[in-house]
Amino acid sequence: MKVIIIGAGEVGFHIASHLARENKDVVVVDTNPETLRRVSDNLDVQVLQGSGSSPVVLEEAGIQSAEIMLAVTNSDEANLVACLAADVISPATKKLARIRNADYDGYHETFREKAPHIDTVINPDTEVVKTILGMMKVPGAVDVGEFADGRIKFVGIYLDDRSPLNGVELVDLPSRLEGMRLLIAAIMRDEELIIPRGKDQLRAGDLVYFITESDQLEPTLQALGKQEAPIKRVLIIGGGRIGYRLASLLEDEPISCKIIEKDPAKCDKLAERLNKAVVLHGDGSDQGLLAEENVGDMDAVVTLTNDEETNILASLLARRMGIRKCITRISKFSYFPLMTTIGIEQVVSPRLSAINGILQHVRRGKVLSAMSIKGEQAEILEAVAMETSAIVAKPLRNVGVPKGALVAAVMRQDHIIIPSGETVIAPDDRIIIVARREVIAQVEKILAVKLEFF
């Protein structure tokens, strides 16, 4: 598979990194020689300096032989023009555009239906807000994903020493859970991701990823020792695009909301557009202001400024003042491994949301959604089993699922199956697979349609 990536920023770099590890043919295009140097020095991909909206540059990059083009620069307009130019030269190439401006929100479907030069629009701000809302609704959640139209929940939580499952082997879980259907899909321990087997043991301090049916989520969390009162009061620090989107959605929830924003002009706009939220002008990392606003009485603080250091400081201050849930926006991927060390567990990233949105479109097979697991060591994929793919019509133990991958759930019509080695996948089943990044290419092979030659 050949993929052309327009934009060598954080999103472009990390998408290229993902695909290069899977031995895909990747070309990265950018106007900035410094960002291209970072790509060429660290990744085994081709780089090309120039504008991705230039037909000449696109032809030089090999657009006519590319299956996919990803336009992920920081400019919405440049991404749209790049897709238009690519469509003129190579209509068969699938084109994805990263678009963040809220002014385009109402036109995403129009772009897809009436502008044939764009196949998919990715809005990372919208996706990150969904992630934040998911974390708010799931006590202790570090990662939250939904699959099978919301029927299946994928949740990551830290296990503490008070959990009744601390020290339990996975093979003994059914007897401990009294009939609840729960599958431990992955364990992050000491920054190393484990795809577990029956004899693996849960330990305090593990980041445990589990899959359960949505209607079983609450009792499952109770069994894992995670019980919290629902969130009623939220403080948002940062009133930019993401802060505004989150506050506007919270107006439809039984949740009171305050926003602290440093820019007085943004405060005026927020006050005009929001009906219920209280808008405050000030610095969200000012301990005096937080104390004055009784931040200790809040149920959750979400730090969403464009400055990571401010977000980290404000979250640490809020934790010190007694807030039980702090959700912190981080953009630099190099910061992620440090967050747990300093006491920040719930982290969101618009860039990671963009990567998750894009990954599903570069996977072979009929992949409906994809999600990177913390640290980008693995992915969870939701795919439709195709009639001629290798995964159907035989017991899973005979399919050749690679070591480091796990078929975690199957949805057949309206019935959800937690599979065993004897489970047989049928055509059109929806399957949820967790896989370490080094075996993604092998997973793609068993999902892809087999070609028959006569």
For 215-273, write each residue's pLDDT tens digit. 888 888 887 777 777 888 999 999 998 999 999 999 988 889 999 999 999 999 999 99
Residue 134 inside a domain? The answer is no
Locus of tokens 């994805």:
96
Query: How far is it, in rounded angstroms, from Cα 177 to Cα 270?
Result: 47
Contact of 408 with 381, CB cutoff 8 Å:
no
The count of domains in the chain is: 3
Quick one: which H or E segment has residue 328? strand 325-329
Residue 282 sits in the same domain as residue 238: yes
Is position 171 within any domain? no
Question: Where does a domain end: 122, 139, 166?
Answer: 122
Radius of gyration of the chain (CA): 23
Residue 45 lies in a domain: yes
Domain extent at residue 14: 2-122
Question: Is the residue at 278 inside a domain?
Answer: yes
CA distances from 165 to 122, 223, 350 (A): 39, 8, 33
Residue 205 lies in a domain: no
Same domain, 37 and 94: yes
- Mark whether 297 and 371 lie in a shared domain: no
pTM higher than 0.85: no
Q: Which of 77, 106, 122 is the last residue of a domain?
A: 122
Residue pLDDT, tens place only, 120-165: 888 888 888 988 988 888 877 888 888 887 888 888 888 888 888 8
Same domain, 10 and 102: yes
Q: What is the CATH number of the domain that holds 395?
A: 3.30.70.1450
Tokens coding 409: 């759930």
d(CA 284, CA 259): 9
Residue 2's alpha-carbon distances to 23, 27, 69, 435, 449, in angstroms, are: 10, 8, 9, 22, 18
| Dihedral angle, C-alpha 364, 370, 375, 377, nearest 10 ° | -40
In a domain, 155, yes or no: no
Q: Do 406 and 342 belong to one domain?
A: no
Residue that finishes a domain, picked among 321, 352, 383: 352
Residue with tokens 């129009």: 110
Residue 129 lies inside a defined structural domain of this protein: no
The tens place of each residue's pLDDT in the chain, 454 residues long, gives 899 999 998 889 988 988 888 778 999 999 999 999 999 999 999 999 999 999 999 999 999 999 999 999 999 999 989 998 998 899 999 999 888 887 776 666 666 666 556 788 888 888 889 889 888 888 778 888 888 878 888 888 888 888 888 888 888 887 777 767 778 888 988 878 888 887 888 898 888 898 888 888 888 888 777 777 788 899 999 999 899 999 999 998 888 999 999 999 999 999 999 999 999 999 988 888 888 888 888 889 999 999 989 999 999 999 888 887 899 998 877 777 788 778 788 888 887 887 777 877 776 667 777 788 766 678 888 888 888 888 888 888 888 888 888 898 888 888 888 888 889 999 989 999 998 888 888 888 888 765 443 3
Same domain for 406 and 311: no
Q: Do residues 312 and 361 share a domain?
A: no
Same domain, 71 and 31: yes
Task: Give me the CATH number covering residue 58.
Answer: 3.40.50.720
